Each structure stands twice: as structure tokens, then as C-alpha cells.
Amino acid sequence: MVPSKKELVTVQQIDGMSTKTPHARELETIGKSVKTFLPRYSRDTIHEVVDEIGGSIDDLEFGEDLTMSFTFFPEATLHVVYYGADEDDDLVNEPDVRFLFSGKRVTWVSSEDLASLADLTMDYVRELLESRNGAASSKGEVKSDLLQRSIMQRAEPFALLKAIDMPDLGEFVDANISSRDGTWIMKKEFFPGITIVFEHDSKGLKVEFAGKKLTTMNDYAKDQLAIFLMNHVLRFVHLRYPGEANHPIIEKAFSFSYLKGHS
């Protein structure tokens, strides 16, 4: 369902700031990249790639050429609004890109996560478009200890979750969860063929990846998806156990506007 204009927000609004924020500037940089590669491809080709990775082509009625929409979690959607260049108009002779967000929960998400998700998604779109032209792909191995550090920083609050929480948690993150004998396993498909797998037991949290299209995305991007999922689980933990979930890392998962409204 396409949101109405009044349901759309910018990352600056999510930051809760009147001046331009670092993550708003980060999105401007990402937009410059999108303006460089997107005009090379036909609308049909772009539509094919967006469909392939589970997104949709929408019309938000801003006079745009197209809008690419991606829902990462229930009530948390990214809209990449693209305006093509108008060669007959000297004032609009270059393409333009806007990043907007919608959903009742999107304003809870940190602007850092939203900007990084936009960056990762647009990189993925670009790589898949380039692969259709036979261009060299940048999806090779990228080794990093980023994910392991992130697990160590975030794993402790996961211990608050109980078997009774699993159905609601599954709905909150849009994932399949099974639990048995003190162990639960979560499977979240961010893009078709790319699934993040969490396994949690008394020993802690383990992260794995599954799916037929894992090789279409670089390892660093997959690590980022796992971190985004951990952060969304932390949001659920805080909402479910507000008096107990007071680990410092949880605050970093939320947006400034959410924290300001709940201080």
C-alpha cells in the first residue's frame, strides 16, 4: 500500500533536528551515487531488479519518474524517489533523488541504521544492474571482524527474551522463529535468497547466513544486515522489558526523536 504524503518523513525529522544532520548529509552523498548510475538503465530494467530483491516501484505523486520502495521490517519502509533530468527545462537539467521513510515504527529506528540501509540497498541495486550489462561485480569476499564485535556488544540483552515472547518478536521483525529447550532460532529474509539466521541459547548468540543468492551480496553488506536485525531485536527487548532492558547499547538502536519523546 502506497503511503499518503502526510505519512512520509525525512531522516532529519526522525533525527528530531531543525538543522541538517550528519545522516541527512550522508543520504545526500548516497543520492549523488544513485543519480550517477540510475539514468543508464531503462525503467523496465530497474523494475526487474527492484522486483528481484523484493521491492516495488511506486508513485508517491511528487512528480517523480519513479519511486523504489523497500520494507525492511513491518511498519518501516524506505522510499527512494527519483527525478530524471528534463533536457527541455534549463532549471531541471539534472536528475535528483530524495530519501523518504514511512511506517508507524520507522521513527523508532536510528537514523544511522536508516542511512546505512539506504546505502546498502542502493549498492545492491547498482551491482545487480551492472551484472545485467556483464560488468564486473564488487561482491567478492570482504573480511572484517565488524560482525563479531557487534555480537559481543549486543548479545547480553537477548538473554531477557523468553519462549513466550517469540510469536510477538517474529511479528515485530517479520521473521520465522522456532524455540525448544532454551534455544530459539530466528530466520529473517531481508532480500529474496538472502536470509539472516540467529541462534540463541545459554552460550549466547550465533549468527549465520543462508539462501541461494548469498553470492550476489558482499560479506560486509551481509554483516550489516545482521547488525540491523540485532538492533531491531533490541528495540523489541526494550519495549517488552522497559524496566530491565537498560543496557547502553539499546539506546543507540533508537532514533533521537524516539529517545526525546520517551525521556
- For residue range 194-250, list pLDDT tens digits in order: 999 999 999 999 999 999 999 999 999 999 999 999 999 999 999 999 988 778 899
Cα Rg, the chain, nearest whole Å? 19
Residues in the chain: 263
Cα–Cα distance list, 35 to 30, 49, 111 (Å): 9, 17, 22
Which amino acid is residue 64, in one-letter code?
A: E
In the 8-state DSSP scheme, what is residue 203? T
Angstrom distance (rounded) from CA 18 to CA 195: 37
67-117 pLDDT tens trace: 999 999 999 999 999 999 876 665 656 899 999 999 999 999 999 999 999
Angstrom distance (rounded) from CA 99 to CA 78: 7
6-51 pLDDT tens trace: 999 999 999 887 677 899 999 999 999 999 999 999 999 999 999 9
Three-state DSSP at 59 gives: coil
Confidence (pLDDT) at 147: 94
Angle between helices 166-173 and 219-240 (to 10 degrees): 130
Is residue 9 a contact partner of residue 99, using CB atoms and an 8 Å limit?
no
Cell of residue 94, nine digits? 539534472
Confidence (pLDDT) at 262: 85
Confidence (pLDDT) at 142: 47
Look up cell 553470492; give the residue: 215
Cell of residue 251, nine digits? 539506546
Confidence (pLDDT) at 20: 79
**DSSP string covering 74-102, please?**
TTEEEEEEEE---TT-TTS-S-EEEEEEE
Give the largest Cα separation in the chain, rounded: 67
Average pLDDT, the chain: 92
